[in-house]
Amino acid sequence: MGLIQNILAVIVVLGLLVTFHEYGHFWVARRCGVKVLRFSIGFGKPLWSRYDRHGTEFVIAAIPLGGYVKMLDEREAPVPENQLDQAFNRKNVWQRIAIVFAGPLANFLLAIVAYWALFVVGTTTVSPVIGAVEPESPAAHAGLQSGHEITAVQGEKVSSWGEINLKLVSAIGESGELVLQARQDIDQSARDYRLPVDDYLVRQDPPQPLSTLGITPWQPEFPPVLGQVLDGEAAAEAGLRPGDRIKAVNGEPVDDWMQFVNIVRGNPGESLSLEIERDGQRQSMTLTPGRTTLETGVEIGYIGAGVEPVSWPEEYRREIRYGPVEAVGQAFSRTGEMTLLTLGAIRKMLVGLISPSNLSGPITIAQVAGDSARTGVEAFITFLAYLSISLGVLNLLPIPVLDGGHLLYYFIEAVRGRPVSEQVQAIGLRIGLALVGSLMLMALYFDLMRLW
């Protein structure tokens, strides 16, 4: 069932992103007087198609991993004399730039609309209160303590752990000090805490922004009660069910969920004697955790079960909501912030500060899309917005075969007064295909390694 949900989620996500991207090209092309021959969502054999009154064929194809807008163009096929004025290649350079740029722009606009909707409807998060500070860590040296609520990172206000993580990830590679503002009580004013760092998060795979600083977020105690049990995994095979409370493992009492998790993780493939409470009755059973390997190469135990959710205390809950007008500015701000974060990540990956294994391909995208869909509408829309921004940024990279490569040629043409030669474009096309193909293969490789 999870696999089907992942597939459906990624089809929905990619379908929306591709549709908006290609519609951007389509809409501006029509406004510039270019005849659009086909608007296709997906590649391969058409599953559905129809023509509009302008003669454009709209297609939904069998392979839902992209799409394209095919325009009238003398470079691709002969154009009738009476339609030459509608050919893409006959338009002036600024019209061609507008048509090409419209695709990525549509992705940024989609992200803005998604964030605007979230800010208007409102989101509920938990306040970023520190639960524990590791001794001798950067946080401890700075004076941060359990109970402090972080209010700003590097001078920028934050209201959730998600925002804090984004700010910290953007600081990858920095040395010197990270400045966090925090307060002991909601009625007190915040003060600066300067955390010493050296090559912060460099080549960590994956980055651990909070634990590297020695900070553990506060969370309520989770009793050792199962909330979900996955079919076919070790917990289900042992006979565990949702609602079961773990009382003891190998005769040792278990008081909270993380204690049970640590026992499971530390005993891959080893038989554990459990004592559980079910419907008020105590039962004994044997559980043998499966084995899984982290990206660091460490093998841990895994049983395919999750904890029963608990309610956060009201004083730790924060609702973020804006009026329709104010939300516009917030949406633009968040989109700009995520765009800069993506560009920064690409730059740092190129110079070796971020491991290339952080690249994600279709398998990881499908998993994250499915997980966000199961988590709720808010998580799904947030993921959709970020993926839309990533698609827009990647398409603007100056690599031939991408929109950014075409824009590079057109800007050169605008400066020189004549087009880039077909020979140069052909060489660029081969280089671009090699680069994009290599990136796709790397992303797929790392996807498969994560699964393995």
Which pLDDT band, with edges at 50, 70 and 90, does 365 fall under? confident
22 a catalytic residue = yes
Helices (H), 244-317: 257-265
What pLDDT, on a 0 to 100 scale, did the predictor assign at position 408?
Answer: 94
What pLDDT, on a 0 to 100 scale, did the predictor assign at position 3?
Answer: 64
| Other residues' Cβ atoms within 10 Å of the Cβ of residue 409 | 20
What pLDDT, on a 0 to 100 scale, did the predictor assign at position 38?
Answer: 95
Q: Is 328 left (phi over 0), alpha (psi -120 to 50) or beta?
A: alpha
The tokens for 152 are 């700003």
User: Which residue in this structure is represented by tokens 């190469």?
Assistant: 297
To the nearest whole percent, how much of the chain has pLDDT over 90? Answer: 49
Amino acid (one-letter) located at 77: A
Cα separation, 251 vs 179, in Å, equals 46
Indicate the SS3 state at residue 30: helix
Cα separation, 247 vs 231, in Å, equals 23
Domains and CATH numbers, the chain: 124-220+311-320 (2.30.42.10), 226-309 (2.30.42.10)
7 or 333: which leads in pLDDT: 333
The pLDDT tens digits for 226-254 are: 988 888 888 999 999 999 999 999 999 99
Give yes or no for residue 2 having a pLDDT over 70.
Answer: no
The pLDDT tens digits for 415-452 are: 998 988 888 888 988 998 898 888 888 877 776 776 66
Alpha carbon distances (Å) from 328 to 105, 108, 121: 17, 13, 13
pTM for this prediction: 0.79
Mean residue pLDDT of the chain comes to 88
Give yes or no for residue 295 having a pLDDT over 70.
Answer: no
Q: In 141-160, which positions are buried (b, 16+ CB within 10 angstroms) versus exposed (e)? A: ebebeeebbbbbbeeeebbb
Most confident of 21-30, 127-136, 284-293, 374-383: 21-30
Indicate the SS3 state at residue 59: strand
The pLDDT tens digits for 138-179 are: 999 999 999 999 999 998 898 888 889 888 888 888 889 999
What pLDDT, on a 0 to 100 scale, did the predictor assign at position 435?
Answer: 87
Which pLDDT band, with edges at 50, 70 and 90, does 344 fall under? confident
The tokens for 94 are 């600024």
Amino acid (one-letter) located at 223: P
Mind giving me the DSSP string for 301-331?
A: EE--EEEPP-PPPGGGEEEE---HHHHHHHH
What pLDDT, on a 0 to 100 scale, did the predictor assign at position 1?
Answer: 46
